[in-house]
Structure 1
Amino acid sequence: MINLKSVLTIFTLVAAISVNFTLGRIHKSHPQPRIYSGRSAAQGQFPYQVLLNIEDDRIEYIIYACGGSIISRDHILTAAHCVEHVVEMPELISVYAGTIYYITGGVEKRVSLVTIHPAYGGNNNDIAILKLNSALEFNDVINSIPLAKKNIPDGAQVIVSGWGHVSSTKASYVLQYDTEYSISHAQCLRRLDRLGSAMRCMRRPLGHGVCSGDSGGPAVHNGELIGVNSYVINDCGLGFPDVFTDVVATRGWIIKNMK
């Protein structure tokens, strides 16, 4: 059994993209590319996908980005680690919807409230809800995605998407997407040795997968949101599964806090 404490380092995907697109504090010594071997999305292909841009001069990277998913006209679902530093200053978060380009085009909204799962910590329950200061208008390129109600079978295809890095110094300008495959909690636990109860894993071919810049972004199966991008083990694109917060496991909390 792999001992993660001594062999592996869990790199939380803080998705630190700075003004000049250099990597943030957590990833400085480990260059991380984009969604490995991903494809460029077409306009309107992922109407639920948003980009979060957080400006915070209290931390080293000042401006960093994460992904998110529209779950209602005025709510966005993302990873807790993306926004935990700005819970008391939600106005620092800009949400870009209706565009496949990095901070270009679409609609920009500000956030009025950040709600983080009360059991977040220890790489578990890495999920947060953002309330927008004004509602989105849905159209062909901006729309919500339903929350999955039941677990998907092992081996089911899952679509992941995000604006992660295309190299160690450059973010992806166009939204990227790729296919991963669901594995059970028990199977993933055998691979990783440790896995939170509210987390789930996706496997992918070597050289594929999510990476820095993709945190908080969606994992989707049959048009339903099944996971929220949380972290990878060691460098991206290696043989370990990617880890997501399980939307089915946290669905009750999500619905309660959307109200």
Structure 2
Amino acid sequence: MCSAVSSPVFSAQNSAQESQAPVARVIGGTTTYAGELPWQALIYIDYGNDGNEVYQCGGVIIDRNTVLTAAHCMQHNNVAAKTYEIMVWGGITSTTSATLGNAHTVVSVTVHPDYDATTFTNDIALLRLMTSFSSSVQPIQIATLGEQSQADLAFENTYVHGGENPENLLVSGWGRTSTDPKATVSHELMHTLLSGVPDDYCNSVWSNINSTNLDRFVCAISPFPQVDRDSCQGDSGGPLVWQNPQVSADSDFGLRLVGLVSFGAQCASDVPSVYTEVAHYRTWISSVVGNRFNFDPEPVFTSDPFLNAERLGKNTSSSDGVGDASGGSGGGSLTLGGILGLFGVFLWRIREKSIR
């Protein structure tokens, strides 16, 4: 979910929904170093363009001018975000590196026409940028329907409810890193490994997932019941990544975008968090961007984050880190990051079936 931004530039806002929110942040994560997750985007939405209601979300870079995020990030109190209210950054790991000078402006926002703010079905939006990301930013491939089926089968065959499970998914973002209600979001980009949950089990605990739309959601949970790992407030719209073992030797290590952070119960609970299944929307993406959109970019990633994340071990510790900034559209050098003393907004509605 998104979170409000507090800084010398943007004043923090409370949400009337805050007390009943399901949440999304990276909990139990580790700091991301420069270039490790080059597909990650940071998004600020300044509703009213006056600094009074500014919210943070994550995003995923799928080409040098295109970012995917959650539809719920682009709507607040039934008001749609306007292009001039949105700023996007790529190629940074620290919010203190996010400046007006390296922000990218948005020329179009397309929210899925069937997005349902009650069930969070079709929780996906597409941003087109005025200027291209620099060469330090690398897009990530979207999983094909066949690859998504492979992932689903792996989740079905390996998941043990209440037991230890494979670390087969990776989530990242600048969201909250603690279950403490007073916790703030992270200045540093964090990531952690999760375990994929079978659709039928996720359906049994979430009432807004049913047999007619199982192909629109991916569910994930901490691999270890005794360890807190999750996405949380401030991570909405960010990437959930799976590694295709059949092409793990490729230049992109077989990394595939399978989900966008959408909704969940309270952070790091024993209820699976829910992500928008991006493979389902390949046709829609093509219809928005155009038939010439390249679904098969050939990025060269410098490291395999699944191997790097093994340094997490079975712990919940996180550490401080530093990031760097890439180029972008024009503007001043006023720092927007460093900023994030957050309150939960766009908070998901908890349903009784999600609480056990």
2:217 to 192, 199, 204: 199
Q: Given the alignment of the two structures, is residue 163 of structure 1 paired with residue 174 of structure 2, yes or no?
A: yes
Residues 11, 51 of structure 2: 8 Å contact kept: no
Structure 1 vs Structure 2: percent identity of aligned residues?
29
Deviates most, 172-181 or 191-200: 191-200
Query: What residue is the counterpart of 2:259 in the other structure?
Result: 227
Deviates most, 213-222 or 23-32: 23-32
Residues 62, 140 of structure 2: 8 Å contact kept: yes
Q: Given the alignment of the two structures, is residue 147 of structure 1 paired with residue 142 of structure 2, yes or no?
A: yes
Matched residue count: 244
* Separation in structure 1 between the aligned mates of residue 115 and residue 108 of structure 2, nearest angstrom: 17
* Separation in structure 2 between the aligned mates of residue 63 and residue 88 of structure 1, nearest angstrom: 11
How do 1:182-193 and structure 2 match up within 5 A? Answer: 182-193=196-207
Deviates most, 197-206 or 22-31: 22-31
TM-score (norm: length of structure 2): 0.63
Instruction: Give structure 2 stretches of 5+ with no counterpart.
Output: 159-165, 244-254, 291-356
Deviates most, 37-46 or 152-161: 152-161
- Deviation, 1:84, is 2.3
The structure with the largest alpha-carbon Rg is 2
1:78 to 60, 69, 75: 69
How do 1:38-49 and structure 2 match up within 5 A? Answer: 38-49=29-40
Larger strand proportion, structure 1 or 2? 1
* Separation in structure 2 between the aligned mates of residue 105 and residue 21 of structure 1, nearest angstrom: 17
Residues 48, 69 of structure 1: 8 Å contact kept: yes
Residues 21, 170 of structure 1: 8 Å contact kept: no
Instruction: Give structure 1 stretches of 5+ with no counterpart.
Output: 1-12
Q: Given the alignment of the two structures, is residue 251 of structure 1 paired with residue 282 of structure 2, yes or no?
A: yes
Deviates most, 105-114 or 62-71: 105-114
Judged with a 3 Å threshold, the aligned counterparts in structure 2 of structure 1 residues 169 and 209 are, in CA distance, closer, same or farther, namely closer
Higher relative contact order (CA 8 A, sep 6+): 2
Q: Given the alignment of the two structures, is residue 218 of structure 1 paired with residue 213 of structure 2, yes or no?
A: no
The one-letter code matched in structure 2 to 1:213 is: G
- Deviation, 1:160, is 0.1
